A and B are shown apart, each in its own frame.
Chain A
Amino acid sequence: MPKKDLLSELSQEQLDELLTYTHPFSQKNIDSIKNKTFKKIEEKTIMKKPFLKRSFGTVAAVFAAALVVATTTFAAMHLLRSPSEVIEIAGGNAALTAAFEGSDAININQTITSNGQAITLLALVSGKDISDHPIYNSTGEILNDRTYAILAIKNLDGSPMPSPMDAAYQPLAVSPFINGKSPWVVNVFSMGGGTISVVEDGIMYIIADFTNITKFADRGIYLGVNTGIGMGNIIDAFTLDEESGTIVTSANFDGSSAVFALPVDPSLAQPERASQFLYELFGDTNFDQEQEITIEFGPENLSLYRATYESLNAWMMEQVEARRASGDYDEESLEAFKQEQAGFFDALRDGYYVYIIALDDMGFATAIANPALEYEISVNTTIDGGRVLETIIIN
């Protein structure tokens, strides 16, 4: 179900009221936005001149294609654009075009059909400084070592893909995956990825980018495409095959999904850098173990250690009573909380582990797991800086 846009329908008064929850907004901001906008337009106008000269070959190719359209419209509608053309349609990027036309690019042109759509991975290229538009991390550092992939998605029944302004538009996520790593651990989010989507001639083209994945080439790397851009969509769409370590699509996913095995030369792998990268993301936490997040604790819980079922339960009830005493909670909320705790304890058994996970910017969370049984995944805990602080063994 497409998510309804609530903001666009609001009156000016309602918008003003909501603005109290954002950064303060005033005429100064409008003036600043104007200045920035017109400055960028001026810069882009100047930058375009040399770019147009270099793209003569592309212009000629587009002209030739236009002649074909005049006589064979149906065929032309279904021809896929080249990576260079896709980049041009998406606004142009001279460095990226050069990279896709260079010797390091891998032309794949593999198509997988799913849910009435043909998903084609056109090409892939990795390297440093291969885009005119650098990606920054939260500290302002440029992430210049990237992998770019270009994909095309079209409807098998010939109907055009909705454009981003259509209500029926459904965005797709493009995730890099690593052999042996669960999709909820290594994915578009943890690999700092993103996409640009455009629709041309009824075909959706996606330019996806993320951290350079060639460093993982000796492990086996994949590219997953799925309907929806939430973490839940990725978890629903893909599964780690425990025996082979491969990433496969889940049969019951409600949407399109595809996994491409990427033919990247294993000799390009950088095992030490790959390990360091994963360590920086996840620390010592073994995220290959699947965990189920069920409840949150407070920092005071850090004193709990090798608790028994009864002592942990007693502690939880103390939390309920403390909340009741604070007067900040209504009875309905407390009852809902207690019911959740009951569910939590129903799930616990002797020998189970309760992980107390510190989330650097989001407080604490817990997960329960039983190392003796098959784990189940329901949620990703790879928050920025998340790490296991304490483990409580129920016995």
Chain B
Amino acid sequence: MTDEELLKKLIKGEDDTLSHIIDDYSKLLWMVVSSILNNSATREDIEECISDVFVQLWKNPKAFDPTKGSLKNFLVVIAKSKALDAYRKLSKVKIVELDCAIKSKDEDLLDYIINKETSQALFAAIKSLAEPNREIVLRRYFFEEKPAYIAQATSLPVKEVENRLYQSKLKLRKFLEINGGIGHA
């Protein structure tokens, strides 16, 4: 069923359609919401957040315009917004990036790599890294976790996480250049 057909059924108010959409997209939204809520949320929080996404789609299906993008992307955008909202509710004081003082050349490199590559190529390149760098980079790139959270999850000092991230980014770039990925800037 195409996104246009799904939209028409949603506008008609067919419960089955929403049920199918929940089946198809819950896994992806679980990833998206988890990546934002990090370890500040419980399973219950994640489910609440994802259900809010589907409620919003049900409530205002016309907000989704199939000519502008896919239903998948639409749901991901809403999920990010809902997750950020949930995150601030779960955190009395929002945690601030400690690594913003050292953003600069390595962040530029991150943007460069991400925008040059497909997610799948980037994912494959990350798999070439040894642990724990692989986990660190996956968490940073795909879950957008802050180094401090990664440090908690991996039981490593924050500074070491930052160092491993930087070194991994350099290795990723080399890997992608050698394997026919990104060209020279």
Residues of A that sit less than 8 Å from B by CB: 1, 3-12, 14-15, 18-19, 21-25, 29-30, 32-34, 36-38, 40-41, 44, 91, 135-139, 163-167, 169, 188-190, 192-194, 196-197, 229-232, 235, 281, 292-296, 298, 323, 328-330, 332-333, 336-337, 359, 361-363, 365, 378-384
Contacts and interface: CB of A to CB of B under 8 A. Distances in A.
B128 interface: no
26 contacts: A6-B114, A8-B72, A10-B119, A11-B120, A15-B28, A21-B143, A21-B153, A22-B31, A25-B27, A29-B46, A30-B27, A37-B22, A38-B18, A40-B51, A164-B78, A165-B74, A165-B77, A231-B96, A293-B98, A296-B158, A330-B167, A333-B160, A337-B163, A363-B148, A382-B93, A382-B96
Given A37-B58, A194-B84, A7 B31 contact: yes
A44 B56 CA distance: 11
Nearest to B88: A194
Contacts of A194: 84-85, 88-89
Given A5-B76, A384-B92, A384-B95, A37 B65 contact: no
Contacts of B55: 37, 40-41, 44
Nearest to B19: A34
A19 B97 contact: no
B31 A4 contact: no
Q: Looking at A19, A32, A197, A323, which has the most chain B CB atoms within 10 Å of its CB?
A: A32
A14 B121 CA distance: 11
Contact of A232 (B40, B97, B164): B97
Nearest to B89: A136
B32 A29 contact: no
Contacts of B76: 5, 7-8
Nearest to B158: A296
A30 B101 contact: no
B93 A192 contact: yes
A189 B77 contact: no
Contacts of A293: 98, 101
Please give me the 8 A-B residue pairs with the lowest Cβ-Cβ distance, nearest first: A9-B119, A36-B51, A189-B94, A22-B34, A37-B51, A379-B101, A137-B92, A333-B163
A61 B47 CA distance: 38
Given A8-B73, A23-B46, A30-B23, A232 B92 contact: no
Contacts of A19: 27, 30-31
B14 interface: no
Given A18-B142, A38-B15, A165-B73, A298 B51 contact: no
Nearest to B103: A232
B183 interface: no
A6 B68 contact: no
Chain B residues touching A, range: 35 or more
B175 interface: no
B135 A21 contact: yes
B5 interface: no
B3 interface: no
B166 A30 contact: no
Interface in B63-81: 63-65, 68-69, 72-74, 76-78, 81
Contacts of A44: 55, 59
B92 A138 contact: yes
A7 B32 contact: yes
Q: Looking at B19, B81, B100, which has the most chain A CB atoms within 10 Å of its CB?
A: B100
Interface in B109-124: 111, 114-115, 118-120, 122-123
Contacts of B85: 194, 196
Contacts of B90: 136, 138
Contacts of B97: 230-232, 379
A137 to B, nearest CB: 4
Given A8-B76, A30-B23, A138 B40 contact: yes
A135 B87 CA distance: 11
A333 B167 contact: yes
A15 B27 contact: yes
B17 interface: no
Nearest to A378: B101
Given A37-B55, A382-B93, A14 B143 contact: no
B47 A41 contact: no
Nearest to B111: A1
A192 B88 contact: yes
A379 B84 CA distance: 21
Given A10-B123, A378-B101, A362 B148 contact: yes
A14 B163 contact: no
Interface string B22-59: 11001110111011000011110011101110111011
Given A166-B68, A323-B160, 12 more contacts: A7-B31, A18-B142, A138-B40, A164-B78, A189-B93, A230-B100, A231-B96, A292-B101, A294-B101, A328-B156, A330-B167, A379-B97
